[in-house]
Amino acid sequence: MERKLAIVVIFHHIGPYHHARLNAAADRLSVTGLEWSGKAYDTWGAAESPAHYQKISLFLEATDRYPGKAELLRAFSLALEQANPDVVAVNGWNNFGSLVAANCCVRLGIPMIVMSESARQDEPRTWWKEMIKQRIVGVYSAALVGGQRHVEYLVELGMPRERVFTGYDVVDNDYFAERALEIRNSNPPQADGIRKKYGLPENYFLASARFIEKKNLPRLIRAYAKYRQRSSAFANQPSRKATAGQEATAGREVGNQKSEVTAPWDLVLLGDGPLKPDLCRLISDLRLIAHMHLPGFKQYEELPVYYALAKAFVHPSTTEQWGLVMNEAIASALPVIVSERCGCVPELVGDNGFTFDPLNEDELTARLLDMASQSDHDLERLREASRRIAARFGPELFGKGLEQAASMAMQLKRKKFGVIDRALVFAAARYGR
């Protein structure tokens, strides 16, 4: 039997997302997952299902300040010498641990794959920083990225197109799909019990994000307030009120198509972060306390409940390299309303929902109205479209892309790193904090 290529894949911490990817990659490669922190400090938690790959943890807990560069470099060097991989895959090029890992691989002469989800549109670019990135990217033999926008940016930074592969940004689709289906298929008393336990309304939009500026949550809340005003205005028109016993709906025009406006949906906003006090004040000022729900940050095992019982998912970020919550949402068969600036849009958004300009509050309001206006038949059509799209972006895509990148790296002549490249990676690692 042909020997599998041996690869070490480096992350800061191996959480549930990484665990699913590494398990899929282990079907194709001899995989060692190397984390430089055995404990997450970003609240993701640990992956608990069986691992089909070898796992190495360099430190029990490592942050952006501990350990120091010299200690981390020694730990990486020892681990890589023991693992003796054919190739190393490094997560990113602009964080301290990744730069130290790259420095170590340069010193040991190990071919490297960069795993990236950066795109040109993520943030304003400056010429001198781009020049430095070009030199850093040049030390990698191949790349594994999220989607087309990320391919284009790496090519712009000098990576040949034929060395860039996709499939980096995936989640455990089966986990979300199976649990969402189980909850939806529960009998009415069970479903009511779940809603009551989690304090969830009958109909709601779902959003999930850290409460930080780029997630654009104040604009979402203001757009949602306008949605409620407009939706209620239509529903309360006397000439269009439904008769007793019927759902209160009213006709309206969306584009050139006739659709329905139902009683306004609530908004459930998962997450936490430094902007929470500001968001709570805004919710109060807009008199949305009775209609908005902030359950807080939820662990991985609780997420399927919120996805399963939602009507649609909203992701309004002003900048988002990819947006893995979108993978979770479509795996859970939810229609989506997504900022056009999210890196996943070309791959994950098609006939399963709407996109919008995240700086245009009125456009977001219109998209909320459009979604809530869909008939049950049309919502099911959107759900089915999400299922189809999600099926193309499971963990096996990561395994395939990583294998392709590793094979490409091995086919190339072993890179000879010049003095400038060595010095640049060393300096970047030294000052990466």
pLDDT in tens, 356-382: 999 999 999 999 999 999 999 999 999
Question: Is residue 420's pLDDT more than 90?
Answer: no
Distance (Å, whole) CA 147 – CA 156:
14
Specify the CATH number for the domain of residue 132: 3.40.50.2000
Q: What is the pLDDT of residues 221-233, one digit of tens each?
A: 999 999 999 987 7
Q: What is the pLDDT of residue 280?
A: 99
pLDDT of residue 188: 86
> Higher pLDDT residue, 393 or 247?
393
**Strand duo 6-11 + 30-35: pairing:** parallel
Residue 45, pLDDT score: 53
Which of 424 and 229 is assigned the larger pLDDT? 229
Residue 429 confidence (pLDDT): 53
Of all residues in the chain, the percent with pLDDT exceeding 70 is 85
Q: Is residue 323 located within the same domain as residue 408?
A: no
One domain, residues 151 and 290? no
**Residue 248 falls inside a structural domain:** yes
Find the helix or strand (DSSP H, E) in which 257 lies. Answer: strand 257-261
- Cβ-contact 45, 70 below 8 angstroms: no
27 & 105 share domain: yes
In a domain, 1, yes or no: no
Say how far apart CA 219 and CA 255 lie, in whole Å. 23
Whole-structure pTM value: 0.89
pLDDT at 232: 79
pLDDT at 254: 37
Mean per-residue pLDDT, 18-35: 97
What's the distance, CA 267 to chain centroid? 20
The mean pLDDT of the chain is 88
In a domain, 412, yes or no: yes
Asked if residue 182 and residue 101 are part of one domain, the reply reads no
| CA proximity to 314, closest of 293, 338, 343 | 338
Residues 96 and 180 in one domain: no
Residue 7's pLDDT band (cuts 50, 70, 90):
very high
On whether both 89 and 60 belong to a single domain, the answer is yes
Q: Given a cut of 90, is residue 94 above it in pLDDT?
A: no
Which residue range forms the structural domain that includes residue 209? 173-391
Average pLDDT over residues 391-407: 98
User: Is residue 150 included in any domain, yes or no?
Assistant: yes
> Has residue 188 been placed in a domain?
yes
pLDDT tens column, 111-160: 999 999 999 888 888 988 888 889 889 999 999 999 999 999 999 999 99
In a domain, 104, yes or no: yes
In this predicted structure, what is the pLDDT of residue 200? 98
What's the structural domain count of the chain? 2
- Could you tell me if 156 and 253 lie in one domain? no
133 lies in the same domain as 39: yes
Rounded to whole angstroms, how far apart are CA atoms 397 and 49?
Answer: 20
pLDDT band at 433 (very low <50, low <70, confident <90, very high): very low
Query: pLDDT (tens digit, 9 = 90+) per residue, 226-280?
Result: 999 998 776 665 544 333 333 323 333 333 344 555 799 999 999 999 999 999 9
Comparison of pLDDT for 68 and 423, the residue scoring more: 68
Match 């404990």 to its residue by tokens. Answer: 39
The pLDDT, as a whole number, for residue 117 is: 95
Position 292 confidence tier, pLDDT thresholds 50, 70, 90? very high
Residues 251 and 111 in one domain: no
In the chain, the percentage of residues whose pLDDT exceeds 90 is 70
Asked whether the predicted pLDDT for residue 1 surpasses 80, the reply is no
Q: Does the pLDDT of residue 337 top 90, yes or no?
A: yes
Angstrom distance (rounded) from CA 19 to CA 286? 41
Measured distance CA(332)–CA(411) in Å, rounded:
39
Question: Residue 193 belongs to what H/E stretch?
Answer: helix 188-198
Tell me the two tokens of residue 120.
């040109």
Do 101 and 178 lie in one domain? The reply is no
Question: Is there a cis peptide before residue 67, judged by omega within 30 degrees of 0?
Answer: yes
If asked whether residues 285 and 418 sit together in one domain, one would say no
Q: Are residues 181 and 328 in the same domain?
A: yes
The pLDDT value given to residue 432: 47
Query: Where is pLDDT greater, at 408 or 122?
Result: 408
